[in-house]
Structure 1
Amino acid sequence: MEELIEELCLIISDNSIPKNVKAKVNSALSALKEEDVETCLRANKALQELDDLSEDPNVPSYLRPQIWNIVSQLETL
């Protein structure tokens, strides 16, 4: 889970990412950081946000595979 949080933080810190994409990534990150919620629920909340991003035309092409990788890792939790 910590690796996924780090990857999402790197995406947020990238200045070339549009604000609306950063907002969705930040929502997913917030969901993963909710320690008082079960892991499977945190993963599902983050998956919902990231699934929306995978279809978003504003997502840069180089970011899409990163998002898919994070989504596939979340699905295994």
Structure 2
Amino acid sequence: MNDLPEILEGLFMIHKDNDVPRNIRMKVKDVVDILNNEDEIEIKIDKSLETLGEVADDPSVPQHTKMQIWSLVSLLETNK
């Protein structure tokens, strides 16, 4: 997956953003862990997309963070 460094950087930016609720930052950290594990790439992408979809649908997520998440989802989908 060629976009992995860019995706991880975007996830780390969200994880460090104190304007993002803590529960959302923890889910984003879970996605980082998923992408860094040894599963096959298709499994990692599917799990990540599922979790990020849940995060983006959460009403407590700030609008700018939702935009970042959808951008990362788009990058993940191009690598599927």
Place the TM-score, normalised by the shorter chain, in its bin. Answer: over 0.9
**Aligned residue number for residue 21 of structure 1:** 24
**Taking CA–CA contacts closer than 8 Å with sequence separation of 6 or more, which of the two structures ends up with the larger relative contact order?**
2
Superposed CA RMSD in Å reads: 0.8
Give the count of matched residue pairs.
76
Equivalent residue runs for 1:7-18 within 5 Å: 7-18=10-21
Aligned AA (2:23): N
- Greater than 6 Å deviation, 4+ residue runs: none
* Alpha-carbon distance between aligned partners in 1 of 2:61 and 2:20, rounded to the nearest angstrom: 7
* Alpha-carbon distance between aligned partners in 2 of 1:56 and 1:22, rounded to the nearest angstrom: 12
Unaligned runs of 5+ in 1: none
TM-score by length of 2: 0.89
Unaligned runs of 5+ in 2: none
